[in-house]
């Protein structure tokens, strides 16, 4: 028995155009899942890579800065099939001193990182309950779900909230066969960390603290998302798994 077999499952992954989201979508596709990729722009590279694996691919171009239309998105997707797995990966970060962060930067990040996760999860969970699906929801948290960080007030607040929302959802949905867990990536080689990687001093100080001695790659999350998305992980819920090269243990 292949414990990670997702054949016949349909997975919705947000922020799937590049980086972690694309990596998560490909990991699920390699395990047999068909992919619905949601992003603010078209995703031809993700589409080509998923189809090359022989899996189905659907694209939803939607800007999560405005979560108000997500109920209609879910209604359209579920009219065409079930959603068995939801990966709330999409996220942005804005850097500014606490006293300089604008209200718009606060609101934009909260909408993308938190409110869209809530609204999309709510719609998908209603569908799962209606269809009796033993669903799997995986939220992407952060090291800043545990720590404060600097110059990223809206991001830190949103990721602390994602951790709390994960636990709340797990508590309410476990008895109904739906698990909700989160992955907290460490310092990954993605667009969100480009400013840090381009700053020699910050990059050096970060790498010196990571026991593994390197930035993470999207593929480092593969086994975590497959574990949480697997039919065999039904007794695991409400967990936040750090994949951080040992950062939090330091």
Q: Which residue has the tokens 């951080």?
A: 244
| Structure tokens belonging to residue 58 | 């659907």
Strand residues in the chain grouped as ranges (E): 10-14, 34-39, 57-61, 85-88, 136-140, 179-185, 240-243
Separation CA 214–CA 216 (nearest Å): 6
Residue-level length of the chain: 250
Separation CA 107–CA 71 (nearest Å): 20
How many H-runs (helices) and E-runs (strands) does the chain carry?
A: 9, 7
CB 60 within 8 A of CB 38: yes
| Structure tokens belonging to residue 61 | 């171009």
Dihedral sign of CA atoms 156, 71, 172, 85 in order: negative
Separation CA 138–CA 133 (nearest Å): 15
The reply to whether 235 belongs to the active site is no
| Structure tokens belonging to residue 145 | 């779900």
Helix (H, G, I), strand (E, B) or coil at 5: coil
Which of 12, 81, 24 has the alpha carbon at shortest distance from 49?
A: 24
Mind telling me the catalytic residues?
A: 155
């Amino acid at each position: 028995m292949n414990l990670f077999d997702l054949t016949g499952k349909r997975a919705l992954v947000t922020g799937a155009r590049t980086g972690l989201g694309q990596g998560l979508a490909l990991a699920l596709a390699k395990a047999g899942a068909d992919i619905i990729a949601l992003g603010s722009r078209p995703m031809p590279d993700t589409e080509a890579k998923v189809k090359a694996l022989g899996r189905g691919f659907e694209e939803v171009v939607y800007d999560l800065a405005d979560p108000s239309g997500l109920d209609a998105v879910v209604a359209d997707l579920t009219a065409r099939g079930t959603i068995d797995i939801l990966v709330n990966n999409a996220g942005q970060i804005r850097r500014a001193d606490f006293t300089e962060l604008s209200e718009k930067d606060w609101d934009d990040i909260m909408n993308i990182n938190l409110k869209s996760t809530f609204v999309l999860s709510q719609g998908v969970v209603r569908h799962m309950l209606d269809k009796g699906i033993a669903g799997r929801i995986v939220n992407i948290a952060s090291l800043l779900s545990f720590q404060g960080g600097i110059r990223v007030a809206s991001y830190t607040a949103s990721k602390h909230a994602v951790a709390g929302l994960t636990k709340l959802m797990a508590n309410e949905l476990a008895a109904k066969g739906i698990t909700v867990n989160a992955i907290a990536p460490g310092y990954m080689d993605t667009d969100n960390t480009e400013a840090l990687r381009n700053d020699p001093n910050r990059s050096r100080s970060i790498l010196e603290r990571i026991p593994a001695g390197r930035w993470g790659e999207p593929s480092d999350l593969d086994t975590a998302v497959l574990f949480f998305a697997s039919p065999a992980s039904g007794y695991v819920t409400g967990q936040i798994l750090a994949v951080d090269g040992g950062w939090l243990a330091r």
